[in-house]
Structure 1
């Protein structure tokens, strides 16, 4: 499996700094529960992570965010994400910029919890509030 590629790309997408075995396990669980395949993820990454994702990919995003504590009851928990990001050595010099981006995205709501998770993630990407985006 090409999990390293997906792991790295999704770590960036979902603002986590590392892709340890726990995160890989979360990805597997979320892929199974939302019927997202590696091919779906690869296609989405190859498309430049455009906002026209299928519903199951949006729910996959929700699943990962919930498992990380960054989404609770359909509400983005900006502080939980910032707390996670504070522990990533590679981005310490960008924390102020990233915090600004996270705060800009904190009140986004979608048509449902999956849509909210996806819209928040796309907002974070747009504001370069994720590791790996400069």
Structure 2
């Protein structure tokens, strides 16, 4: 449970920005499944959060967890392409649509070495710059 909570916090900006409140339970189940399936540990999360491990050195399992969540959410396809139009359409009436559009503009074009790295870079960008999107 603590691992799920920690990953939810790590992916917090993404979740807070892109997941509606009514979908919180579904999002938590999705994150838990991805964490379990990919073997992410509490230590992996703690090391990243504390700065002991730099984002560029994050384990592939952590990066692929970001992709797993994004794909399961329907925000990214399996090849690592962010589905910006789908996100904008889904949240067209959301009170924070401007913040969502800003996040997509700033972070949505990032490309990594593979689909997992791309998802991780996007999530990390949103988390790092989230305050400036408001």
- The aligned residue for residue 45 of structure 1 is 49
Once the 2 structures are TM-superposed, how far is the Cα of residue 55 of structure 1 from its aligned partner?
1.2
Q: How many residues align?
A: 128
d(CA) in 2 for partners of 1:7 and 1:108? Answer: 21
- The aligned residue for residue 82 of structure 2 is 76
Structural mapping, 1:72-111, within 5 Å: 72=77, 73-83=79-89, 85=91, 92=95, 94-111=96-113
Once the 2 structures are TM-superposed, how far is the Cα of residue 129 of structure 1 from its aligned partner?
7.0
d(CA) in 2 for partners of 1:105 and 1:49? Answer: 21
**Residues 1:11 and 1:120: Cα distance change in structure 2 (over 3 Å):** closer
* Contiguous gaps of at least 5 residues in structure 1: none
d(CA) in 2 for partners of 1:97 and 1:48? Answer: 30
Compute the TM-score of the two structures, normalised by the length of structure 1: 0.72
Compute the TM-score of the two structures, normalised by the length of structure 2: 0.72
- The aligned residue for residue 6 of structure 2 is 6
- The aligned residue for residue 72 of structure 2 is 67
RMSD of the TM alignment (CA)? 3.2
Task: Choose between structure 1 and 2: higher helix proportion.
Answer: 2
